[in-house]
Structure 1
Amino acid sequence: MSDIQSYDVVVVGGGPSGSTVGGLLAKAGHRVLILERERFPRYHIGESLVTGMTPLLTELGLVEELDRRFQHKTGISLRWGSDPQPWRSDFSSASSVYSHAWHVTRSEFDELMLNNARSLGATVVEEAHVSEVTGAGTGTVTGLVYTHGGKKHQVTSRYVVDASGQARTVSRKTTSTQWQEDLRNVAVWGYFDTYTPIEHDQDILVEAVDGGGWFWGIPLSKDKLSLGFVLPAERLAQAVQQGRSQREVFLEGLAASNIAKTMVDPGDTPQEMNTARDWSHLSDTFYGPGWVAVGDSAAFIDPLFSSGIWLGTSGAWLAARALDSALADPAGEQHALQRFDAVYRQLFRDVLLYVRFFMDPSRLREEYMERAREITQMYTESSRVGFVSLISGIGAVADLVDFDPMGMDGLRDIMTERAQQAQARSADTAAAV
């Protein structure tokens, strides 16, 4: 062991969730270390954002850069339900402020987010391989052991944040996970350099296909389309056992579509397709002594409405608020982390409940909209916008910006103490001069 390092918070994973919680905590003045397994930029799927991320991205100072780099996303075009006619939801109908999101190349977007965390004061180590979660076996996480550049390092910290995605580096050791058996799906996708855009060319396409499964179509730029087919994992496994390739399964799904097949030439489909499982899961708890989990380490839900990065970064935002409070007032730690878990878990339940309902493609369009309205009223009482609100993340914005992990009394006490400390430092400085 070459050295022992000490930080307030160490974050495992430098993706959007990890860079968000690490950057915000560093911005608040805490000593933060972010450990990322890979070297950025690196490829990743999950390329369509939702408008519910805009308040966070504004806080991080990234909106102008996103507008400069990436294609706008103004809504969602669907062919879903018993009505064969396509239909559309425009983000501007939910909010006059957040009228667009972005379709992003994740290698660029994730690198932008991680570099932003650096600029906010977080220490970032890439190509760092975590080999041990110290204290996990005793019930209280106290730090990590990681390898970088052939040397082993030990880190002690007040808190470890698991933002390691599906690897679940910490949460795998500290909590159980409930798999959502009805949402065990797999995605097969590829990229097309030429394509015919749909009518609303800045929308994401979401289309249910005959025989089961659904397609996404994400216009990353004028000359690059991300086109993916999501289907039950068991169905793909059976096809492979029968000797059919993943590409053949993709093309079978494409032939059964109505809109997706008009966008591309099947002959241009790459011979080697990308695949990934998207098995939905929910951890029993999102926190414990010395640790919290955000993003896919905490939970994952079918990407039907592009909610993954929004859920992950929303949880990271909540975690940053809760940990900032707990670091300032250790006596209030349990209350702060309980509030983090409760609000974050509710966001997942909102989306999971609706995805399950929406997965039945035989309903009327009005049924989907009515169900969405009921859910937003049930779980996010400040929202009455309905369908667009739920699928864009806007329905939770009011709750997120009002999130107070300590309760108002606790927050006032902390702010008063900080003001007194600032006055004392000013007085000491004046006396020294």
Structure 2
Amino acid sequence: MSDIQNFDVVVVGGGPAGSTVGGLLAKAGHQVLILERERFPRYHIGESLVTGMTPLMEELGLVEELDRRFQHKSGISLRWGQDEQPWRSDFSAAGGTYTHAWHVTRSEFDELMLDNARSLGATVVEEAHVNEVLGADGGTVTGVVYTHGGQRHEIRSRYVVDASGQARTVARKMTETKWQDDLRNVAVWGYFDTYAPIENENDILVEAIEGGGWMWGIPLSKDKLSMGYVLSVEQMTAAARDGVGQRQLFLQGLASSSIAKTMVDADTEVELSTARDWSHLSDAFYGPGWVAVGDAAAFIDPLFSSGVWLGTSGAWLAARALDAALKSPADEEHALQRFDSVYRQLFNDILSYVRFFMDPSRRREEYMQRAQEVTQMYTQSSRVGFIALISGVGAVADLVDFDPMGMDGLREILTERAQKAKARAETAAAAL
């Protein structure tokens, strides 16, 4: 036996993307159900945010709480390329009010986001396991079936949003996914409680490692440093053939980096975690009855900490597109097409730049000039273009001003409707 319930929107996944789209749609007055597989708080990687998220955090009313709870992130310090000296980009140099982001403990941050979605009116069920996507076989998603506490629940909805991360609960049934073969990487990371501050204590430190790969250092607090080594699958496989395990490989990378200088009597026997093969792009971000956001839609190598920003930005766009579609079903296709177009452009801009930046043989000014070209920023400063791109600030106008039913779109829709009406009239006249 199972109960049957109806909602406007079901969101599969309660991480940052899911809680964003669910909370905003509930705030707009829609009936929203968020189904989260785990019980929060739960551990997650992806701990360094970017300033481009600030407008959304303002929309959600969370900036003051983030400032209170988490370490500020002022910029990025880089040891990368052919320049002998390390270099730094300060977020405040991009101008405007977005002078800092945050380094967050994701278990706490994600719980804050999900609780906020509840406070905005979304119904949230944790430890909910989605077993079936209704209508998937017929091409139009109409809801989901999930179990909770041993009970089966059937949910009917106008839309299902896939925010289930790498599980891609809906997207894997409805569209193809392309892995980025040149970004098939492995990350090995751990946490250290004894370290000296890096050059700029609020920065994330990113450093290319001789022989391949790169390392991050994220100061989550004064006594907790997140440190990871990202290298290609080929490097990891070759090391394994030579009998080099993950811990030894991590320590070799650490020994080759300047980050090692920050360690003070560090315990190298800390627990290490790994993740692999994460860079991907779905062929479609939406279809009849469904939308994908966050890692379920796309994810890029974490070089510039773009994961949470990209996921929540897509969720913000999706919330406005779905709000428009729910209020005016005839406008659904246009609203979702605009969502797809802007979201995909954000992804492609970051992806193209990450690929360029992954070559550590260039000079600093080359990286900055390319960033300026990618963002198409009309500025005299390539430095500003670089900061705007890696911080997400360059996309703020597209996100804040996103209107799924803009005037251009309205004209297109009215023209399309007029043409359809004319065709129907001609068909009817011919039948007389």
**TM-score normalised by L of structure 2:** 0.92
Q: How big is the shift at 1:240? A: 2.6
**What CA deviation, in whole Å up to 9, does each residue of 1:100-159 have, x standing for no partner?**
000000000000000000000000000000000011111000000000000111000000
Distance 1:110 1:284, change over 3 A: same
Q: For 1:35 and 1:51, how far apart are their aligned partners in 2?
A: 28
In the alignment, what sits opposite 1:297?
Answer: 296
Does the alignment pair 1:360 with 2:327? no
Q: For 1:220 and 1:84, how far apart are their aligned partners in 2?
A: 28
SS at match of 1:390: helix
Q: 1:177·1:281 contact (CA, 8 Å) conserved in 2?
A: yes
In the alignment, what sits opposite 1:424?
Answer: none
Q: 2:178·2:283 contact (CA, 8 Å) conserved in 1?
A: yes
- Matched residue type, 2:60: L
In the alignment, what sits opposite 1:342?
Answer: 341
Q: For 2:229 and 2:338, how far apart are their aligned partners in 1?
A: 37
Q: For 1:56 and 1:67, how far apart are their aligned partners in 2?
A: 14
Q: Which has the higher mean CA deviation after the structures are superposed, 282-291 or 265-274?
A: 265-274
**What CA deviation, in whole Å up to 9, does each residue of 1:49-93 have, x standing for no partner?**
000000000010000000000000000000000012100000001
Number of aligned positions between the proteins: 409
Q: How big is the shift at 1:198? A: 1.3
- Matched residue type, 2:162: D
Q: For 1:398 and 1:392, how far apart are their aligned partners in 2?
A: 13
* Gap regions ≥5 residues in structure 2: 412-432
Q: How big is the shift at 1:178? A: 1.0
Q: 1:247·1:271 contact (CA, 8 Å) conserved in 2?
A: no
In the alignment, what sits opposite 2:130?
Answer: 130
Does the alignment pair 1:396 with 2:395? yes
**What CA deviation, in whole Å up to 9, does each residue of 1:148-176 have, x standing for no partner?**
00011100000000000000000000000
Q: For 1:52 and 1:146, how far apart are their aligned partners in 2?
A: 35
Q: 2:12·2:163 contact (CA, 8 Å) conserved in 1?
A: yes
In the alignment, what sits opposite 1:309?
Answer: 308
In the alignment, what sits opposite 2:287?
Answer: 288
Q: 1:376·1:384 contact (CA, 8 Å) conserved in 2?
A: no
Does the alignment pair 1:62 with 2:62? yes
SS at match of 1:361: coil
Q: 1:190·1:270 contact (CA, 8 Å) conserved in 2?
A: no
Q: How big is the shift at 1:406? A: 1.3
In the alignment, what sits opposite 1:260?
Answer: 259
Does the alignment pair 1:243 with 2:268? no
Q: 1:247·1:272 contact (CA, 8 Å) conserved in 2?
A: no
Q: For 2:198 and 2:383, how far apart are their aligned partners in 1?
A: 30
Q: 1:196·1:264 contact (CA, 8 Å) conserved in 2?
A: yes
In the alignment, what sits opposite 2:191?
Answer: 191
In the alignment, what sits opposite 1:218?
Answer: 218
In the alignment, what sits opposite 2:13?
Answer: 13
- CA RMSD, aligned part only? 1.7
- Matched residue type, 1:314: S
Q: 2:192·2:270 contact (CA, 8 Å) conserved in 1?
A: no
- Matched residue type, 2:119: S
**What CA deviation, in whole Å up to 9, does each residue of 1:269-308 have, x standing for no partner?**
2353111114311110100000000000000100000000
* Gap regions ≥5 residues in structure 1: 413-433
Q: 1:144·1:155 contact (CA, 8 Å) conserved in 2?
A: yes
In the alignment, what sits opposite 2:405?
Answer: 406
Distance 1:40 1:377, change over 3 A: same
Q: 2:368·2:383 contact (CA, 8 Å) conserved in 1?
A: no
In the alignment, what sits opposite 1:332?
Answer: 331
**What CA deviation, in whole Å up to 9, does each residue of 1:389-426 have, x standing for no partner?**
000000000111111111237789xxxxxxxxxxxxxx
Identity fraction in percent = 79
In the alignment, what sits opposite 1:323?
Answer: 322
SS at match of 1:89: strand
SS at match of 1:191: strand
In the alignment, what sits opposite 1:425?
Answer: none
Q: For 1:303 and 1:142, how far apart are their aligned partners in 2?
A: 34
Trace 1:174-185 onto structure 2 (pairs within 5 A): 174-185=174-185
Q: For 1:266 and 1:86, how far apart are their aligned partners in 2?
A: 25
Q: How big is the shift at 1:344? A: 0.1
Q: For 2:54 and 2:406, how far apart are their aligned partners in 1?
A: 25
Q: For 2:16 and 2:385, how far apart are their aligned partners in 1?
A: 27
In the alignment, what sits opposite 1:371?
Answer: 370
In the alignment, what sits opposite 2:148?
Answer: 148
In the alignment, what sits opposite 1:90?
Answer: 90
SS at match of 2:376: helix
Q: How big is the shift at 1:238? A: 2.8
Q: For 2:2 and 2:393, how far apart are their aligned partners in 1?
A: 47
Distance 1:71 1:401, change over 3 A: same
In the alignment, what sits opposite 1:4?
Answer: 4
Distance 1:407 1:322, change over 3 A: same
